[in-house]
Copies of this chain bind each other. A is one copy, B any other.
Amino acid sequence: MNETRRQKQRAAVNEEIKEVARRLMVEQGTAGVSLRAIARQMDMSAPALYHYFANREALITALIVDAFNALADHVEQAREAAGSRPLGERLMAVLLAYRQWALANPVDFELIYGNPIPGYDAPQEVTAPAAARGLAALAELIAEVGQGRGPAAEEYQVIPPELEPFFQALQKREGYDAPLLALYLAAVAWSRVHGILMLELVNQLQPLVGDGELFYRSQVEAMLRGMGLKG
């Protein structure tokens, strides 16, 4: 009983540290994660943090894993909320959710998809599984793509032959049961929305196309229509 109370307290403080770190990252940038600054914000001494994280690296790793998971959660939730609507709509919902999360949490997005933090090396064993989850919702949706597609533009009808071996390897490695073409289209879709998003996040897109959301939406729609998934 009492033990539980201490554990709860511990978990709460652990969470608070990460929250404060995220808040500070918004102001200082991802490279600015500082144990002393966090402690100051929390009215604690800096050494106390070492009871929660082995060192600064460990904290950053935790933040990265959290970010990957939060993004994946958000995307999966959007997919579930789209329920049994037509595939095209569900894909749309998922891709919009990706953007929405990125804009709502730009610093976490930077943390996982932006510049590496100087002096920090992400331990792949810890990070990679969480990163893979980010693709899960998309990949699973895409498993349905094989069935019931409308007419697709030539660009999306076949996987480029030179890429086939890689997607075959991916399929085998991850145990996906989606058809190869579906995996390929997922990768294409992801890289495209990501490009728009990154440019928007660093304010390089707006001078060009004015409204980031409108451009994003129109690109996704055009792409899904091209892929024969929009009916």
Contact = CB atoms under 8 A, between A and B. Distances in A.
Interface stretch (A7-15, A84-92, A112-120, A141-149): A112-120
Interface centre among A31, A170, A210, A225, by most chain B C-beta atoms within 10 angstroms, is A31
A194 interface: yes
B208 A135 contact: yes
Given A155-B223, A193-B195, A218 B118 contact: no
Given A214-B163, A226-B153, A194 B198 contact: yes
A46 interface: no
B195 A118 contact: no
Contacts of A153: 153-155, 226
Interface residues of A, number: 57
A29 B163 contact: no
A191 interface: yes
Nearest to A117: B29
A93 interface: no
Contacts of A210: 165-166, 169-170
Given A29-B118, A163-B218, A188-B219, A113 B208 contact: no
A54 interface: no
A3 interface: no
Interface string A195-231: 1111100101101111100110011011101100000
A208 B115 contact: no
Contacts of A113: 198-199, 202, 204
Contacts of A31: 29, 31-32, 115, 117-118
A167 interface: yes
